[in-house]
Structure 1
């Protein structure tokens, strides 16, 4: 991440210099509402309503992970998140927070906010272990009546009085902060961008080398296709597997999947990695599938079970915290198809009501990814995934009601394919 002039609150050395910070801080204290936005200033500012409520109880700390090495930053964030979830007592709130420059891409620095209401407080002992990492900066918040300020936190008494940076309410930014870094850490819009991430993490994730070798062996530049390529998209248990198998037989087509089978031995390993590494892995899977599509379409129609729409929709929905309204706007460049990725002729999005989908999931009883588990318990996440699917452009998805019987869905889809692809 490029250095930002004047951003003192994320560096211990610069903080001590007493420079002002142009950044905005955001705390997700209630996913149903806007985050709590504030800046820092040298002069006290009276706080009202939500700010008084948030800063009013117990000890409050925040920590931010900042590093020029995006792999190190992502891993540190994941490690701290895991440790906080295991070590913090029930009467401590751990909330997602970040610092950013409004409307500036790649300016987000992620972290956590801890509200410790326990007696005695237990969070400080845990925070001591985090301060040993040079990329982690920890702050404490203190109140004096209607004022609140942020200080660089130290587990011992400081010999010098820390400079106070007063919490000052900030207006809601034009774009939700979590959208500012999607392009660099969650969705990849070229093969080279995803390839570079796995190169950077090859020392800590040895499997990356094998994946990159597969990419080098299988991915070739491919122009137009011969027979039509039809992609079937949808949430887990929407009927994709049943439909794609039926289409393969009905159209005498080749059936492909994304991620491709050659990456199956590595999926469990990469699913356990931070988002930037996991997303890069799945992005490269799309490019391998694209190479297979180009070859197979010269011989017969090609049916593909998931493709770039899934990769992007799940990544965007996961990266964007909070409400549905926090998603990138419908006309955002984040929904545009990668220029170097082969485009299918038709993309069909299977839709099924939540109750029916849950019934199918229970009947299947198969192992699911973290995100597929999240779909079952988090209605908001499901809605964000579905909306992201609908907003992806060039090509966009054509919606199909997948609630009827498999045979009825098949006939409906065959009519669409014959109409759109002239098969």
Structure 2
């Protein structure tokens, strides 16, 4: 969706830790770990229409801030974006201090709901962009998600509808802000207090570009939000969800029935991974027949009855569902591998790859670097002997999806229309370690693909 440059006023909405401009020292001290000489303690990352990332902060200073090490040089993209014709709004969902998993789940569900509402009437003609708010010196888990909404027509109805959304939110609720350009061209945000409806104008902040951090700000949060390193952290998400989503307790009950500290049997375990429609199921079934193996899928059939429910939840809950499914499958693998080889259609690698690609905004180079801990296999999950990653050119994969004649999942639709998302999933797959993925070219004749797969299994699975 293209953004058109605009002139004049614009409106942003922010939630979170914005302090009055007349007391900058108090604002800085509010975050104990923030160093005063490093400037503001909250930074923002906006995903632009071209998938580039724009970094900025809100400063109460009206003078030159070039001496601050945290502030970047002038970024023309900042003015181009925020001066688009019409009005721009922003919603940034706050985390309650010290709320832990419960606060993250609450914020995730609120953000998820707002995104859904902002796609309904009267917002259909508006465009949405992703926004993150973070503090460089805060511990993992403090990143706050937000939404930028652009109304190209500057319709008063949109403003009133947004105010209605704010009033309907429980505390802590979003705060509404208006941004102006002054006579010298500086961009300013003016906060609006909305205690129970349209309120008075509040503090004023200047929009200032900041230096891009060496690592995407969401990466430190991945192990506690979508790529869980063990069962304990995954369980906590569903334990907090049980009172909100009854099916979460049903999944936990199934997990509790599984054996603890499961071990693989003497027969090999092979996983087939890849994007949708790359031929995983077909290859897996042929390999199963050739090896006289047991065929399993993740998530397992015992939890797929609730898949649609959790697919419609925010990412933190959705990924916990798939992760718990992996632990249930692990129990099945342990038992089956004592009797025969095991072939699995997807396992942990797909859970992690899709989660990373979804959460990390921007271009593929913003992904966690190779050998980052987020690509490591969970410490307590049964490990396979071999992981085969089937790759297929986009044109052939889309044709296969169309030939299926089935309803597409959200991920299939995203893979089909979003080239960058597809690239991020594939790169994440290829960076997985311990065990790594062995790439199989699925563009070849199907019999050749089967032959290559069986050759790799024979080479790396010595127990056959």
Whether these two folds match at TM > 0.5 is yes
2:190 alignment partner, one of 151, 168, 174: 151
Cα distance, 1:351–1:119 mapped onto 2, change above 3 Å? closer
Question: Which runs of structure 2 are paired with 1:385-400 in the superposition (5 Å)?
Answer: 385-400=425-440
| Contact 2:56/2:207 (8 A) holds in 1 | no
2:105 alignment partner, one of 63, 71, 86: 71
| Cα distance in 1 between the residues matched to 2:125 and 2:290 | 58
SS in 2 for 1:35: strand
1:336 alignment partner, one of 358, 376, 398: 376
| Contact 1:130/1:136 (8 A) holds in 2 | no
Cα distance, 1:395–1:234 mapped onto 2, change above 3 Å? same
Q: CA deviation at 1:156?
A: 4.0
Q: CA deviation at 1:402?
A: 1.4
2:296 alignment partner, one of 238, 245, 256: 256
2:16 alignment partner, one of 7, 10, 16: 10
Q: State the partner residue of 2:413.
A: 373
Q: State the partner residue of 2:354.
A: 314
| Contact 2:21/2:60 (8 A) holds in 1 | no
Cα distance, 1:318–1:48 mapped onto 2, change above 3 Å? closer
| Cα distance in 1 between the residues matched to 2:333 and 2:42 | 46
Q: CA deviation at 1:420?
A: 1.0
SS in 2 for 1:52: helix
Cα distance, 1:120–1:317 mapped onto 2, change above 3 Å? closer
1:55 alignment partner, one of 71, 77, 82: 82
Cα distance, 1:404–1:22 mapped onto 2, change above 3 Å? same
TM-score by length of 1: 0.92
| Contact 2:46/2:53 (8 A) holds in 1 | no
Question: Which runs of structure 2 are paired with 1:95-134 in the superposition (5 Å)?
Answer: 95-102=129-136, 104=138, 105-132=140-167, 133=169, 134=171
Q: CA deviation at 1:218?
A: 2.2
SS in 1 for 2:49: coil
| Cα distance in 2 between the residues matched to 1:114 and 1:418 | 54
Q: CA deviation at 1:80?
A: 0.6
Residue 130 of structure 2 corresponds to residue 92 of structure 1:
no
Q: CA deviation at 1:276?
A: 0.9
Q: State the partner residue of 2:115.
A: 81
Deviates more, 1:328-337 or 1:40-49: 40-49
Q: How many residues align?
A: 414
Q: Which runs of no fewer than 5 residues in structure 1 stay unpaired?
A: 1-7
SS in 1 for 2:127: strand
| Contact 1:98/1:109 (8 A) holds in 2 | yes
| Contact 2:87/2:154 (8 A) holds in 1 | no
Q: CA deviation at 1:91?
A: 5.3
| Contact 1:314/1:385 (8 A) holds in 2 | yes
Deviates more, 1:190-199 or 1:132-141: 132-141
Residue 34 of structure 2 corresponds to residue 34 of structure 1:
no
1:269 alignment partner, one of 296, 306, 309: 309
| Contact 1:59/1:121 (8 A) holds in 2 | no
Cα distance, 1:117–1:416 mapped onto 2, change above 3 Å? closer
| Contact 1:45/1:167 (8 A) holds in 2 | no
| Contact 1:116/1:122 (8 A) holds in 2 | no
SS in 1 for 2:156: coil
Question: Which runs of structure 2 are paired with 1:92-241 in the superposition (5 Å)?
Answer: 92-102=126-136, 104=138, 105-132=140-167, 133=169, 134-138=171-175, 139-145=177-183, 146-154=185-193, 156=198, 158=200, 162-241=202-281
| Cα distance in 1 between the residues matched to 2:255 and 2:21 | 44
SS in 1 for 2:53: coil
Q: Which runs of no fewer than 5 residues in structure 2 stay unpaired?
A: 1-13, 29-39, 66-73
- Deviation string 1:119-178 (CA, Å, 9 cap, x unpaired) is 4433321221232222332232222131122222246462xx633221121011111123
SS in 1 for 2:339: coil
- Deviation string 1:190-242 (CA, Å, 9 cap, x unpaired) is 11111111110111111111111111112432134311101111111111111
| Cα distance in 1 between the residues matched to 2:384 and 2:248 | 28
Deviates more, 1:102-111 or 1:293-302: 102-111
| Cα distance in 1 between the residues matched to 2:449 and 2:431 | 23
| Cα distance in 2 between the residues matched to 1:94 and 1:22 | 25
Cα distance, 1:353–1:17 mapped onto 2, change above 3 Å? same
| Cα distance in 2 between the residues matched to 1:41 and 1:26 | 19
